[in-house]
A = this chain, B = another copy of it.
Amino acid sequence: MSKKLNICEIFGPTIQGEGAMMGRPTLFVRTGGCDYRCSWCDTMYAVDPKHSDQWQRMTTEEVMAEIERLSDQTPMHVTLSGGNPAMQPLEDLIDLGHSKGYQFALETQGSLARDWFKKLDQLTLSPKGPSAGVKTDWDVLDACVDLVEPYKQASMKVVIFDDADYAFAQKVQNRYPQLPLYLQAGNHMVDSNAPADIPGVLDRLRWLAEKVASDRWQSACVLPQLHVLAWGNMRGA
């Protein structure tokens, strides 16, 4: 009997909207629960236990069955997200999925270092800048990076709202020069019941692009959130 996983939602196929895998087809497994409370969190329904009545306790086999159903039994790419998916025992799911030909990416803030990160096909570490109002434990983030050091498909992603976040991202770059760094223009309107402020989002994208360009920060990569542009704040897209 495998351990139960806290699952908020499983959906797709859709397109990855962020970071290194932007634009590529994937399924999403969103776990419930997070050790952070970021001020601009866009998935509070997967964070705050007050929404936990909408989460399900599922076995590895049940999650895999749903992945196979959504993908018509044809192996494809799966993104493990949250909340903080590092809080869930996902190693068995990765092993089971791999045995069936599926690939797995995981995105986490890097507040919990799990040995099984080594098994992932892609890992995105997304430490949170000052605007999030949470504190980065650099030692744990170091431990996450140490796990993936020999591993080529790991990257850092920092959401940028302001100059303080930008300085934070520069610190991340200096500390982990070996990892590609994605700078994501922040979305300030994250209510999934309200329309996204697309002009506002694009204003921030322009501001960030102009800043990186004029600084000629050659190793940075400025990206929007493709899913917010295409589908707004709609859940499950």
Contact = CB atoms under 8 A, between A and B. Distances in A.
Instruction: Give the interface size class of chain A.
Output: 35 or more
Contacts of A221: 22-24
Given A198-B198, A202-B198, A213-B14, A218 B182 contact: no
Given A198-B202, A213-B25, A216-B74, A15 B222 contact: yes
A229 B202 contact: yes
A77 B212 CA distance: 13
A64 to B, nearest CB: 17
Say what secondary structure dominates the interface of chain A: mixed
Contact of A25 (B13, B76, B216, B231): B216
Number of copies: 2
B22 A220 contact: no
A182 B24 contact: no
A175 interface: no
A67 to B, nearest CB: 12
A120 to B, nearest CB: 17
Interface of A: 12-15, 22-25, 71-72, 74, 76-77, 182-183, 198, 202, 205-206, 209, 212-218, 220-224, 226, 229-231
